[in-house]
Structure formats: C-alpha cells, structure tokens
Amino acid sequence: MKQGARWALSAGLTLVGLVVAFHGVDWGVFSLSLRRTGALWGLALVPVVMGVEYRLRTARWSLLMGGARGYFPVVAAAFFLNTVLPFRAGEAARAYWSHRRSGRSLSGCVAGLVVDRLGDALALLGVFAVFLFHVGDRTPGSKIGALVFVLAIALAALGIGVRWPETVRKKLLPGGSPPLWVRIVEGVLAGVAPLRAGRIALGVGALSGMVWTLNVFLYWWVAGLFGIDLSLSQAGGVLAAIALGVALPSTPGFVGVYEAAGVLMLGSLGIEKERALAFVLALHGAQIIGAAVWGGPSLWLLGRGEGDASRAVSGIDKIQRPS
C-alpha cells in the first residue's frame, strides 16, 4: 500500500473511531464522570506502572538479544515513537537501535522483534480466553472452542519452527537466489532459534504473561476510580478490545480507534457511554503522558538525535548489515 493510501486509511479509521466514541454523549453526565473525586491522583500512578511494564519488556527483549543489558532506553524510546508517529514506526527504530548496539544483523533484530510481538499476541489471546470463559451464556461454546483451537495451532506452529528450524526452512523456502519474502522467513526462523533454549523460551513466556497481567490490573484499578465495577476478567476483555483496536492503522497516538474499541466493549458490558468514555479518555491520556515521561528522556539518552530516528523508521532496509 502506498504511503498516501496508508495515511488516508489511518485518517479515515481515526475519524470513524471518534464518531463512534463521541456520538450521542450527554456532556453533562460526561463532565461529572470525568471530574470524579480521586480519579486525578489515581491516574498519576499510571506512568509509574508503565515504568514497571517497560522494565519487564526490557528483560524480555534482552533475552531475545542474547542476554545483553542496557536496552531500557531502546524499549522506552520505541514505545514513545509508536505513540507520536504513525504506523508503529517505533518498532523499526527498536530493531535499528538494537542492531547498532549489539552488532547483531539487522534481520536478526527484526526477527527478534517478531518473536517479541508473538509473545504479546499469545499472552493477549490468553487474557481474552479468560474473558470469554467468564461471560457465561452470552458467549456460545463454539466461539470458545474456536479460540482454543486457534491458540493451539499458533503454539504448535511456533513449537515446530523452534524445534526444527532447518526442516521448516527447507520445506518452505525454494532454492536459488532468494527473493525478499524468503529472506524475511529465514530471518524469522533465525530469530526464533534462541527459543530452543528452554530457559529463554520460559523467560519470554513468563515475562509476556507478567506484562499483560499487570495491564489487566491497571485497567481494573483505573476503572474503579470512575465507579466502573469490572471483574478482572472483564478488565481483560476491555484490554484485549483496545489492543485489537490500536493494531489497526491509525494516526499518531492511536486516537479514535483506542476510544471506539474501549467504549464499544464497555457498552457491551452494560456501562453507560458517558462514564465509559470518561474512563477511556483519561486512561489513554495518562498512558500518552507515561510514554512521554519514559520515552522522551530515553530518546535523548540514546544520543542518536532526530536524524537517526528518522533514518530508522523510513529507511531500515537501507541500513548496512555488519560483515
């Protein structure tokens, strides 16, 4: 998809999301919900929790980068760029900075990023599965079975790729001069190779679970500040819905898609729109501030400057690989 078309799509999704989130809101009720006593001081804790989350993510990323230390600024700055730039540009920057710091091949860093994202996806599937199992009769058993089946297939595919990477490579990749997609698949297989070490695989899985469990408790706690009585499984459902929403192409900050996903999920749980919107907007704003608190200084500490960040997110394929 061309850059102009991507911008048009992201702007369209953002606009639709804002309309869905704000349409029909009673602003008097919304204002009362937003000014709820205790919410402001409670929201100040969100950046602190995000610092803990970034530490957990850094530990996972260090495992995938061979156990090296000093990646906290890389992880925090990448998430900050994801917030202020479109199309998750921070992921490309993370691979670039890790390539520069570690001396690993760029394809190896990108492959590590794929595994990092896969850990998030599987953990989030687990969170959503818990939500589905706790919504009772409102969710048909077939949907639960389908989710478990998909999760099992994903785990099986990952296990095969980790246990027998050479066999997978020979089956999937043709001989001769490899095209781009072949090099990408080879890089991914190289990236999952460290997971053959049980300690690394266990560490990645445990840290992924800790990241998303922490976020479930954060959503549950902030919802309580606004008088929204959610169970932990329901908070996980809201978290999963928002995570799916921000996976769509959007303008910087995930504005619109974040709000629409959160309001729609909370509405399905019987929460009035004004209170749901107040909660979602406040949490989103606090998370943006948290990303800036940790990511802004980290970007500066990297010593790269705006030029290298721009190079990372716009020309990653042109970066020279180490010999």
pLDDT in tens, 241-294: 999 888 876 677 888 999 999 999 999 999 999 999 999 999 999 999 999 999
Buried b (16+ CB within 10 A) or exposed e, 63-82: bbbeeeeebbbbbbbbbbbb
Span 132-172, pLDDT tens digits? 877 754 444 555 555 555 556 555 555 555 454 455 445 54
Q: Which residue has the higher pLDDT, 39 or 100?
A: 100
Span 43-58, pLDDT tens digits? 899 999 999 999 999 9
Kindly report the three-state secondary structure assignment for every residue of 27-42: HHHHHHHHCCCCHHHH
Residue 185's H or E segment, with its range, is helix 180-192
CA diameter of the chain? 67
DSSP string, 108-134: HHHHHHHHHHHHHHHHHHHHHHHHHHT
Distances (CA, A) of 238 to 72, 210, 274: 28, 17, 16
pTM of the model: 0.79
pLDDT at 193 (0 to 100): 61
**Whole-angstrom distance, CA of residue 209 vs CA of residue 206:** 5
Cα 246 to the center of its chain, rounded Å: 8
